[in-house]
Amino acid sequence: MASRLSFANITALAPMVRVGTLPMRLLALDYGADVVYCEELIDIKMAQCRRVENEVLQTVDFVAPDDRVMFRTCEKEKQRVVFQMGTADPDRALAVARLVEKDVAAIDVNMGCPKEYSTKGGMGAALLSDPDKIEAILRKLVSGVSVPVTCKIRILPSLEDTLTLARRIEKTGVAAVAVHGRFKDERPRHPVHCDYIGAVARAVAVPVIANGGSLDLVKTHGDIQAFRVAAGASSVMLARAAMWNPSVFRSAGPLPLHDVMIQYLKYALRYDNHAFNSKYCLCQMLRDKVESALGKRVQAAQNNQELSEAFDLVGVFEETQAALEARRDALQSPERLRDHVIAVDGDVTTMALKFQRREYPPQLTPKMFLLEWSRRQKLEQPTYQTVQRAQDRAFQSTVTVENRKYRSSLWEKSKKFAEQASAVVCLRARGIPESHVGQENGGRPHKRKTEDGRDVGQEKRTKQTGDGERETGGS
């Protein structure tokens, strides 16, 4: 069993909304961060997610009902990533923590963010005025999960109240407390109160992580230790300094920003990060150069390919896409599919597979095989219902045969391919032979007959099929 994460004498990437996604976390670890926090994720949304092992990306994804990936992580960061949640409910917090605890190194509760998206519903800095709820949440988590639990707070207007809260938090059994040295109504332009952080560090025995030094105190890696000493804290976490240039974690000194951005984008491509999130992070790195020629190209980009073009990384983009496609194909090999697990979700039978056009004879498709089989069995013809996913316009189809439903859990690039994939699931789940299995006659498929005696393979490419779809050679 892996050792528990220590928060003593560490330098961490602070939790930052829209910034602390997987590419930025991995980059910070590469450059020397000891621990990385994900962006704050709201418990209500996370509680609805399902855990999915993404074999293509080699990640673990937590996927919302609308198929958005709320949190993505991988083996490389497993022992050093802290999952931060926004919560105001002990039971819901525990449910979310148990959902993710096997894939993260620790759980953190956000009690410091003053923004409305965090404070609404009593989360974030709103918790600072409800110490009873703070204690209830933390005790529930500490006793309910196997990984360390921490929290991140802001200082209160009174030093005495701040110390009282810190001591009360310590008694819940947390592994560390991160302290942002600003009051709830202060913003990054205000100086950080190192004296408050130091007082908290002296008042409790658990490690205290100082936060808030990016404005005045931390410009380079050498400043991190100076901030640690000024705050009297065990550890330091960096937000904006790391957002502007993650190589601030390098003991050997920062790298040119352009090189850092390229490395970030390579991770974004490798892990299929949403293009608009990648664009946001790149623009934060550009800062006052966001209106430069490069900045304008980044802002104009609408997808990962266009982001790659902005940095002259078209070759990297194509290689990455080819590698991911090869992995998809390998996962869909006949050997894998023979042993593929069939899942039943309610009244829907699912398999994780895609329609591979090259596996079928010319002018023949799984839909045609399924239609022919249904006619021979004197069943009603199959019906298809297809939905489109908003974020990437991918398609998923469900086919109904004999009042039973079948679909692929993988999404396709077109409506046609989605329908074909659902037909494949139906054929394989029911054990209906497909012509590409056991072909004879020198590799040529057997001629298959429709109910009226015609050769299916001789139908014209644009002939209207019995299920109402116009088939083409590219389907």
Instruction: Return the residue matching tokens 């829209």.
Output: 18
Q: What are the beta bridge partners of residue 152? A: 110, 178
Average pLDDT over residues 14-37: 98
Amino acid at 327: R
Give the C-alpha separation, 15 to 42, whole Å: 13
- Predicted confidence (pLDDT) per residue in 412-437, tens digit: 889 999 999 999 999 988 888 775 43
Question: What pLDDT shows up at residue 454?
Answer: 41
- Confidence band, pLDDT 50/70/90 cuts, at residue 196: very high
User: Quick check: 151 pLDDT over 80?
Assistant: yes
Average pLDDT (171-180) is 98
Cβ burial, residue 59 (10 Å; 0-12/13-18/19+):
buried
Say yes or no to pLDDT of 108 above 50.
yes
The reported pLDDT for the residue numbered 340 is: 53
Highest mean pLDDT among 130-144, 335-349, 388-402: 130-144
User: Residue 91 in contact with residue 140, Cβ under 8 Å?
Assistant: yes
pLDDT band at 134 (very low <50, low <70, confident <90, very high): very high
For 286-296, write each residue's pLDDT tens digit. 999 999 999 99
pLDDT for the residue 216 = 80
Catalytic residues: 113
Residue 336 has pLDDT above 60, yes or no: no
CA-to-CA dists, residue 281 to 228, 268, 307, angstroms: 26, 10, 12
> What pLDDT is recorded for position 41?
97
Percent above pLDDT 70 for the chain = 87
pLDDT at 289: 95
The structure tokens listed for 145 are 């999960």
Helix then strand count (H, E) for the chain reads: 17, 17
Looking at residue 204, its pLDDT comes to: 98
Residues 32-35: contacts with CB under 8 Å, at least 24 apart: 32/221, 32/249, 32/250, 32/251, 33/242, 33/249, 34/10, 34/80, 35/5, 35/7, 35/10, 35/11, 35/80, 35/81, 35/82, 35/105, 35/237
What value does the mean pLDDT take over residues 387-398?
Answer: 85
Query: Who wins on pLDDT, 330 or 198?
Result: 198
Domains in the chain, CATH or no CATH each? 11-254 (3.20.20.70), 256-331 (no CATH), 337-458 (3.30.160.20)
pLDDT in tens, 201-249: 999 999 999 999 987 889 899 999 999 999 999 999 999 999 999 999 9
In the chain, % helix, strand, coil (3-state, to 5) comes to: 40, 20, 40
- Identify each DSSP E strand in 78-206 by its residue range: 81-86, 106-111, 149-154, 176-180
Per-residue pLDDT averaged across 145-165, rounded?
A: 97
pLDDT of 444 reads 35
Q: What is the pTM of this model?
A: 0.74
Structure confidence at residue 463 (pLDDT): 33
Report how far residue 242's alpha carbon sits from residue 66's, in angstroms, rounded to the nearest whole number. 32
Please, what is the angle between helix 194-203 and helix 222-231, to 10°?
60
- Distance of alpha carbon 6 from alpha carbon 179, whole angstroms: 17
Give the chain's mean pLDDT: 87
207 exposure class (CB count in 10 Å sphere: 0-12, 13-18, 19+): buried
- Spatial strand order of the sheet with 404-408 comes to 343-345, 348-351, 404-408, 395-401, 383-388
